[in-house]
Amino acid sequence: MQEIKRRYVIPGDKIIEGNYKPLMNVVKSGNYLISTRVGIAEAGKDGVKVIPLSGVYIPRVNDLVIGKVIDRSSLSWDVDINACFLAHLPAQDVFGRDFSPAKDDMGRQLGIGDLIIARIVSFDRTRDPMLTVQDKDLGKIPYGEFIKISPTRVPRLIGKRGSMIQTIEQATQTRVIIGQNGIVVVTGRDPEGLSLAAKAIRLVEEESHTTNLTQRVKTLLNVQDPEDQEQSEAVEASSSSASGGGIQEPEPPQASAESTPQTTSSQPQPEPPQASAESTPQTTSSQPQPEPPQASAESTPQTTSSQPQPEPPQASAESSQTTSNSVKTSSSTKEKHKIENSEKSSNSNSNDDQKEKKQE
C-alpha cells in the first residue's frame, strides 16, 4: 500500500487502480477506488480510506456525545445530539428501573436546554440513537464555554493519545469535554484561559488538514516545546472515528472494541483530563501518569474539588449527582496496547512532520 500517496481528494476522485480494499469513505467503481468525500486519501491498515473534512455527525454505538435536551415525553427525554436523528434518553436510565411517571418528576433531573454528556448505547439503520448517562463521568454539564466544531475535526482536536487536547488543557488551565458529535464544553477558573482555549480549538478546527498544526497551537498558547515531546503530529489521529460513511449495520464486537479508545475518551490515558487541567505541575511531563493525580476526584462532586470552579451555586447542587468529574473511561492494558500500535503505524507521519519542522 506504500504506493498510495496521501493527498487531497474530492468526491469522485480516483484514488488508485487495482485490487485494494475500500475502507471509510471510499467505494469501488470498476477497477478503481474512488473517494466519496472531500478529504485526505491515505492507505489504512488493510485498505484505502479518506479522512473527511466535512459532514454532519452520524451516530455510532459507544460514542460519547454532548447533547441538548429539547423535549420530553412521559417516559424519556429527546436529546439533540447535532446528528441526523434526535436521540432519546429513557427516564429509567436516570431514575432506575422503578421509575414511575406518576411518582417521579422528570423536570427535577433534566430540563429543556440542559446539556448532557452521554454514551450512545444503541443505534442502527432502523432505530433512533438511545443514550445512557449511567456511567462514571456522564450526565448533566452545568456550566462552561459552549463551542461547536465540525464533527470531522474531533479526532484532530483530541490528537494522538489525547496529545492535542492535553496541550490545550495544560497551557490554559482548563478542562475540555469533547463530544464525538462536535460539541465541546470548556471549563476553568480563568476567563483568559477559557478564551485562549477556545481560540486554540478554533485554530484546530480551521486548519485541521494542515501539517505542523500542533506546533502552531503551541505557538498560539505560548508553550515551550522540548524536542522530545513532539511525538504526536499527524494530519489525523489514525483510527479516526469521525463520521466514516453512512449509518452502518451493527458492527461485530471486535470492530467496536477497536474503536473504543477513540470514541470513549477524549484522552485515552490513565489519568482523567480534568486532572491534567487542575493539577498542571504533575502533568507537564508527557509521560502518562499511572495514577490519577486526584484520587479523590472520582468520588467527590466537581464543585468541591480543590480548585473551585466559577459556576452558579444552584447549578452545582443540582448537578452533583449526575455530573461527571471527567470524560475519562478506564483504559485497560489491552486498549493501551492498541493505542501504541496505532501510534506506531503512523510514525512515518510524525517523522515527516519532524523533518518539515526542521526545515522551517
Partner 1 sequence: MSSSKRSTIIVEQLRKQQMLEALSRGKRLDGRDYDLYRNLEIEVGIIDKASGSAKVKLGNTEVIAGVKVETGEPFEGLENKGALIMSAEVLPTASPHVEPGPPDEDAIELSRVVDRGIRESEMLDLDKLALIPGKTVYTVFVDCSIINSDGNLLDATSYAVVAALLTSKFPVYEIQEDKVVNTGKTMPPPITTIPISITAVKIGESVLIDPTTEEEACMDARITMTTQSDGSIVAVQKGFTGPFSINQIVEFSEIARIKGEEIRSKIKELNSG
Partner 2 sequence: MYSLKELTLLDENGIRSDGRGINDLRSIKITVGVVKNADGSAFIEFGKNKIIVAVYGPREVHPKHMALPDRCVLRCRYHMSPFSTDTRKNPAPSRREVEISKVMRESLEPSLILSDYPRAVIDVFVEVLQADGGSRCAGINAASVALADAGINMRDLVSACAAGRIADNIVLDVNDLEDKEGDADMPVAYMPNLEQVTLLQLDGKLTTTQFNECLNKAITGCKAVYEIQKDALMKKYFGNEMELKEEA
12 near partner 2 (CB under 8 A) = yes
- Per-residue CA distances from 169 to 58, 63, 163, 267 (Å): 27, 22, 10, 11
Shortest Å distance, C-beta 137 to partner 1: 17
18 near partner 2 (CB under 8 A) = no
10 near partner 2 (CB under 8 A) = yes
Shortest Å distance, C-beta 311 to partner 1: 8
Q: Is 90 exposed, middle or buried (0-12, 13-18, 19+ CB in 10 A)?
A: middle
d(CA 316, CA 208): 35
Give the count of beta carbons closer than 10 Å to the beta carbon of residue 85: 14
Contacts with partner 2 in 58-117 (CB under 8 A)? Answer: 58, 84-86
Contacts with partner 1 in 263-322 (CB under 8 A)? Answer: 312, 315
Instruction: Sketch the per residue contact string, 220 through 249, with partner 2: x for CB under 8 A, - otherwise.
Output: ---------------x-------x-xxx--
56 near partner 1 (CB under 8 A) = no
Closer CB to partner 1, residue 199 or residue 357?
Answer: 199
Shortest Å distance, C-beta 169 to partner 2: 28
Contacts with partner 2 in 270-299 (CB under 8 A)? Answer: none
Q: How many residues bind partner 2 (CB under 8 A)?
A: 41
8 A C-beta contact, residue 70 and residue 48 = no
In 3-state terms, what secondary structure has residue 8?
Answer: strand
Stretch that binds partner 2, among 158-166, 191-199, 204-212, 324-332 (CB under 8 A): 204-212
User: Strand pairing of 48-52 and 64-72?
Assistant: unpaired
Find where cell 418528576 sits. 105
Shortest Å distance, C-beta 167 to partner 2: 23
Contacts with partner 2 in 135-174 (CB under 8 A)? Answer: 152
Give the E-state strand segments of the chain in sequence order.
7-9, 14-17, 26-29, 32-35, 39-43, 48-52, 64-72, 76-80, 87-90, 115-124, 127-132, 139-141, 145-148, 174-178, 183-188
Closer CB to partner 1, residue 181 or residue 264?
Answer: 181
Q: Which amino acid is at 345?
A: S
Stretch that binds partner 2, among 48-56, 90-98, 108-116, 295-303 (CB under 8 A): 48-56
Shortest Å distance, C-beta 203 to partner 1: 19
Q: Which three cell numbers stand for residue 302?
A: 466537581
Closer CB to partner 2, residue 242 or residue 339?
Answer: 242
Q: Which three cell numbers stand for residue 134?
A: 449511567
> b/e map of 33-50 (b: 16 or more CB within 10 Å)?
bbbbbbbbbbbbeeebbb
Among partner 1, partner 2, none, what does residue 70 contact (CB within 5–8 Å per kind)? partner 1
Q: Which amino acid is at 134?
A: Q
d(CA 284, CA 308): 21
Q: Which amino acid is at 119?
A: R
Among partner 1, partner 2, none, what does residue 220 contact (CB within 5–8 Å per kind)? none
54 near partner 2 (CB under 8 A) = yes
Q: Which three cell numbers stand for residue 164?
A: 492535542
Chain residues in the site for partner 2 (CB under 8 A):
5-8, 10-14, 25, 27, 29, 34, 36-38, 40, 52-56, 58, 84-86, 125-126, 152, 209-211, 235, 243, 245-247, 352, 355-356, 359
Chain residues in the site for partner 1 (CB under 8 A):
68, 70, 80, 111-115, 141-144, 146, 185, 312, 315
